[in-house]
Structure 1
Amino acid sequence: MFKEPLTRALHVARWVALAIVVGIISGLLSAAFIESLTWSTNTRVDNSWFIWTLPIAGLIVGASYHYLGRGLERGSNLLIDEIHSHSEWVPFRIAPLVFITSVVSHLAGGSTGREGAALQIAAGATDPISKRLGLNPADRSLMLITAIAGGFGSIAGVPIAGAVFALEVQRVGRIRYEALVPAFVASFVGHAVVRGLGVNYTIYPQIPDVTWSPTIAWQISLFGLVAGLIALTFVRLTQFIRGLMKKYVAWYPARPLIGGIILLVLITACGWRDYQGFSFPLMLSAMNGATSGHFEVKLLLTAITIGTGFVGGEVIPLLTTGALAGATFGSLVGGNIAVFAIVGAVAVLAGATNTPLACALIGIELFGGGGAILFAVACVAAYATSGHTGIYHAQKVSAHKSGEVTS
């Protein structure tokens, strides 16, 4: 009579225990990573000559992957591939490799982020635990999802969205509910560890109060569709640049070296220093109602940075791109610029990652629940127009955006 409930309870307890371990590891590593990237950003800003090291930084990053991490340049797509195929273990060396090369990329001034790197760091540090425990393929998939949740929730300061992102990101059109408990536990524990260590997250403006009306409804819906097209443009441009590098530059270290030269020329010739790194000042300025930034510049520099092989991630650059695009759109339609900038940030991210639920929750956690309806509408609209291929090309399509179910 009590055997089945007891078995279930023990199963849940086992996964809660594993998730706590993953969350602690993820939180500790994310805290160190945030502090390291803060140092690299401040150092670059205080010493403008660091921009001249972009080609050298590119060579260092490329050589590190070529000689120490061959096959690991797939980045977060490696984790998603392993969730589906279980063909190889995520090696521990990816954690220090991604950590160090991300710091180098930011120090020199590449337009890159941190969330994607944090996922890889968390998975690299925890997948060996799965191997040591002898987990079967299905359980190992759950552990990788748990690591993604712990990494995202702890690095971005969004424990709810971090868990949902991990459940949503591997398949377009399907959420992995079987990983619900460990994903939430790892994400919340990781976030708590970072907070407990006194590491500060970026403080974002809260979305202004907006009265829902037919006018705001069509404006947000239209902008969501535009945001999806912006996301699609970024994905296609990054793929195009990556394809060119692969086709014409056989020696991998030369790819980010060339990328560093291109970035150096563009940034110095065009005066685009504000678009280096995270570009937090540009993003926050747009979210406070300014229209001084150009989203297409951030999109271009990020596509070059990621497409040529620099390391870090696309999430924060996409938030910045979306915020700048939203500010521009808001000024064109006569809307509240701050509202459209904040909504634009999560909408472009939703289109590029194919994770509309997680991105709507990111909006709520970072910018306030008052914009919940706006975030939901814009993220769904962006998801609808961004195509099936996002920044994570290893995603499987379980249901087409037209509604057709494939698996």
Structure 2
Amino acid sequence: MTRAPLERAAHLARWVVLATCVGAAAGMLSAAFIEALDWAGRTRGDSAWLVWLLPLGGLAVGASYHYLGKGLERGSNLLIEQIHGHTRWIPVRMSVLIFVCSVVTHVVGGSAGREGAALQLAAGVTDPVSKRLGLRQADRAVMLVAAIAGGFGSVFGVPVTGAVFALEVQRVGRVRHEAIVPAFVASFVGDAVVRGIGMEHTHFPTVPAFTWDAALAAGLLLLGVAGGLAAMAFVGLTHSVREVLSRRVAWYPARPLVGGVIVAALVLALDWRDYSGLSLHLASNAFGGSVEGDSWAKLLLTAVTIGSGFVGGEFIPLLVTGALMGAGLADIIGADVALFAMAGALAVLAGATNTPVAMMILGMELFGGGGAAVFAVACVTAYACSGHKGIYHAQPVSAHKSGVRE
């Protein structure tokens, strides 16, 4: 046996071991985080008065990052930046801050998600290991991709999506092939750890039966365009909130304080309590065929929450936004509400994250493979209509969506 195959086998085994460790750590952290967010949701539901603490919660989150985590407020974008070039090591402190501050965001009623937190939780314990092992930048980048995969796959219970998302999100137009094995290993191990601990993920209905015809195809194209435009609107509004506050409010901790005042005012004045926190029940109802809730309300609250400096992530709020949008559109054009809610959720996510393939797979893992073609039409259309700027603005663009390589 020649030396080259042995070296390749040893190299592969090394990455399997490293990715297994990354996935195990990500899974344990995700399990703890899921439990903490469940507690936050129950506590907020039992104590409606907590919404009055949104400004104070914002001040606490802002002060924590200002004094203890300068630069770490870039969140998941910092991870993407470090994949493409070393400018700083990501400290364990990132994991601590994102865990605590995400729980604070949710318990007081901020409209945020959990995917961003899960990615940062995993990266915050992975990068110090890379530093300790003295990994070169190329290997460190693979470790970070594995951390993203482990965090995403474990926190949502979607191991295939977790791996594909990590490979796709780090650059628009190019997959990091050397990270494929570590990403899949970390994502599957992370998911197995969460399930082994006994944590349960939200279960959604399976995709309803449908028949392809011209009306369905036209409706899905319209839904995809709407999803892409909604993604652009969210990205633009979040950026505008961030820019206005950075210009008008010099002291960083006061920005989420102001955001907390705005969110609390909207929730109390318009009775938008259903749009606080994850709001997954709204999406679940839409997936079950119910038409209730306003997609723009969830979009607006999330943009103000995240844009002002609260943390947690945008993924689930955008899923909810897309589900409500899809259900509303289906009601208008006479399409299947549940089917369009599912496709709408994926469409908005595909446009906002620039990860259409991952979102198609997410649809199959959440709702079943029977809707693969429907999900593909909605996701690709939304991706094509959403522009290059997404919620992860640090994503480099290797190829334009038109197919022209930069």
Structure 1, residues 250-301: CA drift from partner, whole Å, max 9, x if none?
1000000000000111110001110000101111111111111100000000
**AA in 1 matched with 2:153:** G
State how far apart, in whole Å, the 2-side matches of 1:136 and 1:251 are.
Answer: 37
Structure 1, residues 298-324: CA drift from partner, whole Å, max 9, x if none?
000000000000010000000000000
* Overall identity of the aligned pairs, in %: 62
Q: How does 1:324-343 map to 2 (within 5 A)?
A: 324-343=324-343
Equivalent position of 2:254 in the other structure? 254
Equivalent position of 2:181 in the other structure? 181
State how far apart, in whole Å, the 2-side matches of 1:183 and 1:212 are.
Answer: 35
State how far apart, in whole Å, the 1-side matches of 2:369 and 2:211 are.
Answer: 14
CA shift, 1:332, in A, is 1.1
Query: Which stretch has the larger CA shift, 345-354 or 214-223?
Result: 214-223
State how far apart, in whole Å, the 2-side matches of 1:209 and 1:12 are.
Answer: 43
Equivalent position of 2:322 in the other structure? 322
Structure 1, residues 84-142: CA drift from partner, whole Å, max 9, x if none?
11111111100010000000000000000001111001000111000010000100000
State how far apart, in whole Å, the 2-side matches of 1:282 and 1:222 are.
Answer: 22
Equivalent position of 1:92 in the other structure? 92
Q: Which runs of 4+ in 1 moved over 6 A?
A: none
CA shift, 1:176, in A, is 1.2
Equivalent position of 1:405 in the other structure? 405
Equivalent position of 2:228 in the other structure? 228
- 1:288 correspondence with 2:288: yes
Equivalent position of 1:365 in the other structure? 365
- 1:244 correspondence with 2:279: no
Equivalent position of 1:107 in the other structure? 107
Equivalent position of 1:58 in the other structure? 58
CA shift, 1:214, in A, is 2.2
State how far apart, in whole Å, the 2-side matches of 1:219 and 1:266 are.
Answer: 33
Secondary structure (helix, strand or coil) at the match of 1:289 reads coil
State how far apart, in whole Å, the 2-side matches of 1:304 and 1:187 are.
Answer: 31
State how far apart, in whole Å, the 1-side matches of 2:211 and 2:14 are.
Answer: 46
State how far apart, in whole Å, the 2-side matches of 1:173 and 1:179 are.
Answer: 15
State how far apart, in whole Å, the 1-side matches of 2:242 and 2:367 are.
Answer: 33
Secondary structure (helix, strand or coil) at the match of 2:92 reads coil
- Structure 2 residue runs of 5 or longer lacking an equivalent are none
Equivalent position of 2:312 in the other structure? 312
**AA in 2 matched with 1:101:** C
Q: How does 1:72-87 map to 2 (within 5 A)?
A: 72-87=72-87
Equivalent position of 2:71 in the other structure? 71
CA shift, 1:367, in A, is 0.9
**AA in 2 matched with 1:100:** V
Equivalent position of 1:383 in the other structure? 383
**AA in 2 matched with 1:272:** W
State how far apart, in whole Å, the 1-side matches of 2:382 and 2:206 are.
Answer: 22
Secondary structure (helix, strand or coil) at the match of 1:207 reads coil
CA shift, 1:213, in A, is 2.1
**AA in 2 matched with 1:370:** G
**AA in 1 matched with 2:124:** G
**AA in 2 matched with 1:210:** F
State how far apart, in whole Å, the 2-side matches of 1:79 and 1:169 are.
Answer: 11
Structure 1, residues 1-51: CA drift from partner, whole Å, max 9, x if none?
521111111111000000000000000000000000000000000111111
TM-score, length-normalised on structure 1? 0.99
Equivalent position of 1:43 in the other structure? 43
Structure 1, residues 318-348: CA drift from partner, whole Å, max 9, x if none?
0000000000110111000111001111110
**AA in 2 matched with 1:163:** A
Q: How does 1:204-219 map to 2 (within 5 A)?
A: 204-219=204-219
TM-score, length-normalised on structure 2? 0.99
Query: Which stretch has the larger CA shift, 212-221 or 307-316?
Result: 212-221
- Structure 1 residue runs of 5 or longer lacking an equivalent are none
Query: Which stretch has the larger CA shift, 284-293 or 252-261?
Result: 284-293
State how far apart, in whole Å, the 1-side matches of 2:214 and 2:7 are.
Answer: 52
Q: How does 1:139-158 map to 2 (within 5 A)?
A: 139-158=139-158
CA shift, 1:209, in A, is 1.2
State how far apart, in whole Å, the 1-side matches of 2:213 and 2:91 are.
Answer: 52
CA shift, 1:211, in A, is 1.6
